[in-house]
């Protein structure tokens, strides 16, 4: 069974009278438990593809099927549930709420997922322990290092136990040693927990080190 299938998937943007083709009728399949890296130069369509898989954006053509459901056929509420429970997103810029502590960022995600209030702190602490940050729960993002902040972001992405982890340049703002630590956490999610991981990266060596397969995009098309 394919977890994700793309059939002639296309995405175009209008800039005034100009049509920009971000993705040009691409086809691929991803199986449950795979670790896929998407590489390519800036503007090749990498982040656009991740946004379509996450349901943050909608295609202008073709189909994207995830867990046997066509994403374009989902309503607003169903897409929101897709983002809560099917995919967990990790961003280069972390995207944490700066005014909230590490544990508050995670409990907020748990609240959106419907976990009863009385269980949220316990679950959030479990997730922070999983990423090695149990002693930093009450620190705000500004009080954490880049690596620690990304660990919190990973814990938040795991809050509602998604099947798929989408990582958009997860080590882009980190030094090489910290990048390796973050990649080991993401790799463990794949190897030990069976999460399907789809990672966008500019780092071909990193992609080769951790991925089952690499998809190379160029000008909105799969070239390898």
Domain map of the chain by residue range?
Answer: 4-222
| The predicted structure's pLDDT at residue 43 | 87
| The predicted structure's pLDDT at residue 173 | 86
The DSSP letter of residue 201 is: -
- How would you list the strands of the sheet with 87-91, edge to edge? 87-91, 164-168, 196-200, 35-39, 213-218, 221-222
Residue with tokens 């090695």: 132
| The predicted structure's pLDDT at residue 100 | 95
4-222 has CATH 1.10.260.40 classification: no
Residue 169 and residue 99: Cα distance in Å, rounded?
Answer: 24
The DSSP letter of residue 70 is: E
Residues with Cβ < 8 Å from 112, sequence gap 6 or more? 84, 160
For residue 174, what are its two tokens? 């980190």
| The predicted structure's pLDDT at residue 2 | 64
| The predicted structure's pLDDT at residue 179 | 92
For residue 159, what are its two tokens? 């809050």
The DSSP letter of residue 86 is: I
The DSSP letter of residue 140 is: -
Residue with tokens 């040693």: 177
Looking only at the bridges linking them, the beta strands covering 35-39 and 196-200 are parallel
Task: Give me the sign of the Cα torsion angle 169, 148, 146, 93.
Answer: positive
| The predicted structure's pLDDT at residue 1 | 54
Ordered per-residue pLDDT tens for the chain, 224 residues: 568 999 999 999 888 889 989 999 999 999 999 999 999 988 899 999 999 999 999 999 999 999 999 998 889 899 999 998 999 999 888 889 999 999 999 999 999 999 999 999 999 999 999 999 999 999 999 999 999 999 999 999 999 999 999 999 999 888 999 999 999 999 999 999 999 999 999 889 999 999 999 999 999 999 98
């Amino acid at each position: 069974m394919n977890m994700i299938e793309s059939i002639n998937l296309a995405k175009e943007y209008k800039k005034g009278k100009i049509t920009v083709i971000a993705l040009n009728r691409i086809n691929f399949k991803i199986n449950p438990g795979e670790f896929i890296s998407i590489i390519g130069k800036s503007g090749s369509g990498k982040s656009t593809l991740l946004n379509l898989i996450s349901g943050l954006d909608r295609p202008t053509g073709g189909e994207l099927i995830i867990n046997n459901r066509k994403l374009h056929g989902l309503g607003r509420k169903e897409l929101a549930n897709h983002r809560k429970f099917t995919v967990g997103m990790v961003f280069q810029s972390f995207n944490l709420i700066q005014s909230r502590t590490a544990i508050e960022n995670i409990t907020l995600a748990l609240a959106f997922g419907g976990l009863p209030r009385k269980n949220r702190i316990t679950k959030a602490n479990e997730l922070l322990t999983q990423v090695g940050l149990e002693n930093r729960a009450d620190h705000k993002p500004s009080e954490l290092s880049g690596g620690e902040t990304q660990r919190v972001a990973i814990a938040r992405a795991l809050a509602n136990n998604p099947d798929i982890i989408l990582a958009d340049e997860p080590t882009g703002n980190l030094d090489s040693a910290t990048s390796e630590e973050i990649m080991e956490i993401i790799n463990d999610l794949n190897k030990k927990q069976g999460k399907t991981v789809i990672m966008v990266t500019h780092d071909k060596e990193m992609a080769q080190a951790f991925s089952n397969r690499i998809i190379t995009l160029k000008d909105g098309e799969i070239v390898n």
